[in-house]
Amino acid sequence: MTAVRDDDRILQEVADALRARFGDAVLGTASAKDGLIVRLDPSVLRAALLFLKEEQGFNALLDIIALDRLKTAPAGPRFEILYQLYRFPAGQRLRLSIEAAEGREIDSAQPVYKSADWAEREAYDMFGIRFAGHPDLRRIYLPDEFEGFPLRKDFPLEGTKRGL
């Protein structure tokens, strides 16, 4: 279990480095049960990803996770987007978290990590979050003529009136 404790310490160092580099744009850190979460301001997202990839060695982006907080935090920005990063070969995982109000364009991570391509298309398909600088932002699962974004909390569970 020492490895895990080491991970915590190393990730804390990474967070400190981020804070040193981006100052107030790092809104805070939180520790979840699986590691560290760094909350960032969306404006520095691409720079932070580039910094983490080039200088901190986080060479893989595992997944991009979007959340709709319509029910849990109706006051704040509607969406939360998480970037699950991985450092190989050391094996630490870091999660970046940004908040995005509805309609706000987020910088695409695709120029930094190629694996973000489809993950961002999926987030767009399901939540309607737009990523600026993505080369080919189309729906990935649903047909192009589909209306609405199904994983938003206000999308009806049993389909729209017009049927699916």
Q: Which residues bind another protein (CB under 8 A)?
A: 32-35, 37, 59-63, 65-68, 71-72, 82, 84, 88-89, 91, 93, 95, 113-115, 117-119, 126, 139-143, 150-151, 155, 157
Closest distance to another protein from the beta carbon of 20 (Å) = 26
Beta bridge partners of 40: 26, 98
Q: CB-wise, 8 or 23, nearer to another protein? A: 8
Q: CB-wise, 20 or 143, nearer to another protein? A: 143
Q: CB-wise, 88 or 102, nearer to another protein? A: 88
> Exposed e or buried b for every residue in 48-87, given b needs 16+ CB within 10 A?
bbebbbeebebeebeebebbbeeeeeeeeebbbbebbbeb
Q: CB-wise, 24 or 158, nearer to another protein? A: 158
Q: Which helix (H) or strand (E) holds 12?
A: helix 2-22
Q: Which residues contact 141 (CB under 8 A, 6 or more apart)?
A: 122, 125, 126
Whole-angstrom distance, CA of residue 138 vs CA of residue 59: 26
How far, in whole angstroms, is CA 43 from its chain's centroid? 13
Whole-angstrom distance, CA of residue 151 vs CA of residue 37: 23
Closest distance to another protein from the beta carbon of 157 (Å) = 6
Closest distance to another protein from the beta carbon of 77 (Å) = 16
Q: CB-wise, 16 or 136, nearer to another protein? A: 136
